[in-house]
Structure 1
Amino acid sequence: MKLVVQVKLLPTAAQGAALEATLRACNEAATWASKVAFEKDVKKNFALREHTYGEIKARWGLGAQAAQHVIKKTCDAYATLKANLRAGNLGRPGSKRRRRAVEKPIVFRPEGAQPYDDRMLSWQIPERRISVWTVSGRVKDVAFTASPEQLATLALYRRGESDLVCRDGMWFLLATCEVPEAPPNPDPVDFLGIDLGIVNIATTLDGEIMAGRALNRIRARERTLRAKLQKKNTPSAKRRLKQRRRKEARRAKDINHKIAKHVVAEAERTGRGIALEDLTGIRERVRLRKPQRATHSSWSFAQLGSFIAYKARRAGVPVVHVDPAYTSRTCAECGHIDRANRVSQAWFACRNCGFVDHADRNSSRNIRARAWQLWRRGAQSTAPAPPRQHRRIGTGRKRSVTASDARCASPAL
């Protein structure tokens, strides 16, 4: 399966300036190529190359490989736009959001990511150095830092392209690795049901509760601080906002990685599969009061589910998604369904048989039972065939291009 190892570059001032100039030149060329593709309605790689390849090399001084990657990046952006339109992710036909997306060409951010292949980038992994092509020529001996696990993965399994990324003034390389996966377990002894929630991020069938109290407090504090700084609107407040951006998302991602790693390790150790709720579309199905909307919108259940899925695939653990309807109202002992069974957020008390349990653990038992029913009827594991990376191409509309690489995740997690 494909994973992406993220390593941090440590360029000197001169090396950083060359990398920055390269990203700007490549993204300016991509924006121009996007305009040509839009005006001529030519959005296929080889067809667009006939209209743009020579001009890109002459005008921006890009090499042959870089020019081809710029053109391919542009075509990938339009392919992603087309897929989003087909899936309805940009609204209904005729909606304002959909018109904004299709009525003008895609614009790439100056610091958007740029793909590199082995002709443009070479690795000296033992020395922790790379040699990279730039518009100023080949830049050698650029230092990078990585953990021992990441270095071992790079040395053994690195294949294909790497993306050069500039994020908050720091430089990163996202290297694609073809990591072997364990053979899938065709006959799990049981399923580990997992109930996902906001108050408790995950509750397992075994009774383990991963509470979300600390994360929710962090989110509330960050939300209050953002509102105060935005209201103040001074230069120092703007600098503070810029410094703190993505901090909350990084914390949530780290917590989700740890939970997913623990859940998959436990399922692998006990020979069980993993049962999850299929919560697709839950934001559109529920209606919330205003104080609840921010909390619900920041609930990262999809990210946690995707982390569990790809880690489970790597470990050979089957994953089954079940219908979540009424799992919190159904008694795991007698099957009685009643809204009154859920006496509070934390507790479940069956009105029929008197069974009492933690509400989320009761839900996890129902999820496990539904997974067993699906598995016995021949359902296949829904652990994805290799996870996909969202390469930050950096369009003006905050859109990302999906590459046929892996989700950005360190194999050490």
Structure 2
Amino acid sequence: MKVVVQVRLLPSPDEAAALAATLCTVNQAANAVSEAAFNGGVTSRNDLQKVVYGRLRGEFGLGAQAAVRTVKKVVDAYATLRGSVAAGLLGAPGSARRQKAAVKPIAFRRDAAQPFDDRILSWQHSARTVSIWTVAGRLKHVRFTGATEQLGTLAMFRSGESDLVFRAGKWFLAAVCEVPAEPLNADPVDWIGVDRGIVNLATTSDGHNYSGRRLTRYRRWQARKKAELQAKRTRSATRRLKRKAKREARHAAHINHKISKDCVAVAKRTGRGIALEELRGIRDRVRPCRDQRAALFSWPFHQLDRYITYKAERAGVPVIRVDAAYTSQMCPRCGHTARNNRPDRDTFCCRRCGLAGPADFVAGVNVRNRARSAWVLANGPAPQEG
């Protein structure tokens, strides 16, 4: 399976200036290539390369392999755009957003990431340095650093391109690694049911609760700051809003990484699988009140699902998805399902048998029980005819 490992470069001031000039030049070249592709309607990488290769080499001074990587970056960007349009991610036909994307060439930022392959970027893992092509010549012995586990993965499994990234005044290399997944546990002893929510981000059938109270306070504080900046309506306020949005997204991703890592580690240690609710389309199925809309529509449920899925695949832990309907209203002991089984958000109390407990924990148990039934149904013996 493919894993992206990110390491931080530690260039000297002169090396950093050369890297900055390189990103600026290759992205100017990418904009020229994008205009040629858009105006000529060229989508093939080979055809586009024939049109612009000489210009990239002469006018922009790119090396042969840097020119090839720049053309590929543009072709991949247009392929992504066509895929987004086909999937309806840019709105319905005729929508303003879709028309805006279709009437002009793709533009690349001055400091947009640039792909490098093994001909223009080489790694010296023992010395923790890289040799990288720039418009100022080849830079050798540029130091890098990272987490010990990440560096080990990079040294053993790196495969393919690496992207040079400039973010928040720092330089990074994002390398693709082809990490072999562990054999799948095809016969789990049981399942861990995971109920996802907003107040409690995740609650497992084992009783582990990942509370979201600290995150809620953080997001409310961010919302107040956003409102203050939006009221100013200045360019600097707009720039700060973008930085704050990226910071909040990174914070949410960090929390989802922690939750998914814990769930997968427990499942692997105990020989169990992980059961998740099928939450696709949840935003279309519910009608929250006005005060709940921001919390529901901004929390990345799907991101936590993806993180659990790929970490479980890497660890050989099976993942199953079950129907999410009435998991928080059904009694796991007698099966009675009713809305008044849940008198408030945090409490469950069955009106038939009296079973009581935290509502999110009961939902996690129901998810686990549905996974047991689904696994038996899918893996049981075939019915005999006659």
Task: Tell me how far apart the structure 1 counterparts of residues 235 and 75 of structure 2 sit (CA, whole Å).
Answer: 38
Aligned to 1:37: 37
Aligned to 2:170: 170
Amino acid at match of 1:87: A
* Deviation at residue 297 of structure 1 after TM alignment: 2.4
Aligned to 1:328: 328
Task: Tell me how far apart the structure 2 counterparts of residues 335 and 81 of structure 1 sit (CA, whole Å).
Answer: 48
Q: Which moved more, 1:128-137 or 1:228-237?
A: 228-237
* Deviation at residue 57 of structure 1 after TM alignment: 1.8
* Deviation at residue 132 of structure 1 after TM alignment: 0.6
Aligned to 1:92: 92
* Deviation at residue 341 of structure 1 after TM alignment: 1.7
C-alpha spacing 1:12/1:241, structure 2 compared with 1 (3 Å): farther
C-alpha spacing 1:79/1:21, structure 2 compared with 1 (3 Å): same
Task: Tell me how far apart the structure 1 counterparts of residues 189 and 128 of structure 2 sit (CA, whole Å).
Answer: 44
3-state SS in 1 of match to 2:7: strand
State the TM-score, normalized to the length of structure 2: 0.93
C-alpha spacing 1:87/1:239, structure 2 compared with 1 (3 Å): closer
C-alpha spacing 1:87/1:374, structure 2 compared with 1 (3 Å): farther
Task: Tell me how far apart the structure 2 counterparts of residues 332 and 81 of structure 1 sit (CA, whole Å).
Answer: 46
Task: Tell me how far apart the structure 1 counterparts of residues 81 and 199 of structure 2 sit (CA, whole Å).
Answer: 35
* Deviation at residue 235 of structure 1 after TM alignment: 8.1
* Deviation at residue 245 of structure 1 after TM alignment: 5.1
Aligned to 1:278: 278
Task: Tell me how far apart the structure 2 counterparts of residues 188 and 305 of structure 1 sit (CA, whole Å).
Answer: 20
Task: Tell me how far apart the structure 1 counterparts of residues 239 and 327 of structure 2 sit (CA, whole Å).
Answer: 46
Task: Tell me how far apart the structure 1 counterparts of residues 89 and 210 of structure 2 sit (CA, whole Å).
Answer: 31
3-state SS in 2 of match to 1:184: coil
| Aligned pairs (5 A) from 1:62-77 | 62-77=62-77
Aligned to 2:133: 133
Amino acid at match of 1:286: V
Indicate the structure (1 or 2) with the bigger Cα radius of gyration: 2
Aligned to 2:148: 148
Amino acid at match of 1:108: F
State the TM-score, normalized to the length of structure 1: 0.87
Task: Give the number of the structure with larger relative contact order, counting CA–CA contacts within 8 Å between residues 6 or more apart.
Answer: 1
Task: Tell me how far apart the structure 2 counterparts of residues 8 and 274 of structure 1 sit (CA, whole Å).
Answer: 34
Aligned to 2:260: 260
Aligned to 2:298: 298
Aligned to 2:382: none
Say yes or no: does 1:344 pair with 2:344: yes
Unaligned runs of 5+ in 1: 380-413
Amino acid at match of 2:199: V
Aligned to 2:383: none
| Aligned pairs (5 A) from 1:181-200 | 181-200=181-200
Amino acid at match of 1:16: A
C-alpha spacing 1:121/1:329, structure 2 compared with 1 (3 Å): same
Task: Tell me how far apart the structure 2 counterparts of residues 90 and 235 of structure 1 sit (CA, whole Å).
Answer: 26
Task: Tell me how far apart the structure 1 counterparts of residues 48 and 36 of structure 2 sit (CA, whole Å).
Answer: 8
| Aligned pairs (5 A) from 1:396-407 | none
3-state SS in 2 of match to 1:134: coil
Aligned to 1:212: 212
Amino acid at match of 2:350: C
> Aligned Cα RMSD in Å?
1.9
Task: Tell me how far apart the structure 1 counterparts of residues 351 and 135 of structure 2 sit (CA, whole Å).
Answer: 72
Task: Tell me how far apart the structure 1 counterparts of residues 361 and 29 of structure 2 sit (CA, whole Å).
Answer: 54
Task: Tell me how far apart the structure 2 counterparts of residues 290 and 245 of structure 1 sit (CA, whole Å).
Answer: 21
Aligned to 2:384: none
Say yes or no: does 1:160 pair with 2:166: no
Task: Tell me how far apart the structure 2 counterparts of residues 353 and 269 of structure 1 sit (CA, whole Å).
Answer: 34
Task: Tell me how far apart the structure 2 counterparts of residues 329 and 199 of structure 1 sit (CA, whole Å).
Answer: 17
Q: Which moved more, 1:134-143 or 1:309-318?
A: 134-143
Aligned to 1:114: 114
Amino acid at match of 2:286: V
Aligned to 1:123: 123
Deviation track 1:78-102 (CA, whole Å, cap 9, x = no partner) reads: 1111211221111111112221122
Q: Which moved more, 1:235-244 or 1:365-374?
A: 235-244
Q: Which moved more, 1:306-315 or 1:42-51?
A: 42-51
Amino acid at match of 2:124: Q
Deviation track 1:141-165 (CA, whole Å, cap 9, x = no partner) reads: 2121112222222221111111100
Deviation track 1:172-204 (CA, whole Å, cap 9, x = no partner) reads: 000111222210001111110000000001000
Aligned to 2:357: 357
Amino acid at match of 1:134: T
Task: Tell me how far apart the structure 2 counterparts of residues 285 and 100 of structure 1 sit (CA, whole Å).
Answer: 30
Task: Tell me how far apart the structure 2 counterparts of residues 151 and 327 of structure 1 sit (CA, whole Å).
Answer: 42
Task: Tell me how far apart the structure 2 counterparts of residues 100 and 148 of structure 1 sit (CA, whole Å).
Answer: 45
Q: Percent identity?
A: 54
Task: Tell me how far apart the structure 2 counterparts of residues 25 and 110 of structure 1 sit (CA, whole Å).
Answer: 8
Task: Tell me how far apart the structure 1 counterparts of residues 272 and 355 of structure 2 sit (CA, whole Å).
Answer: 26
Task: Tell me how far apart the structure 1 counterparts of residues 195 and 244 of structure 2 sit (CA, whole Å).
Answer: 31
3-state SS in 1 of match to 2:59: helix
Task: Tell me how far apart the structure 1 counterparts of residues 279 and 136 of structure 2 sit (CA, whole Å).
Answer: 49
- Counting matched residue pairs gives 379
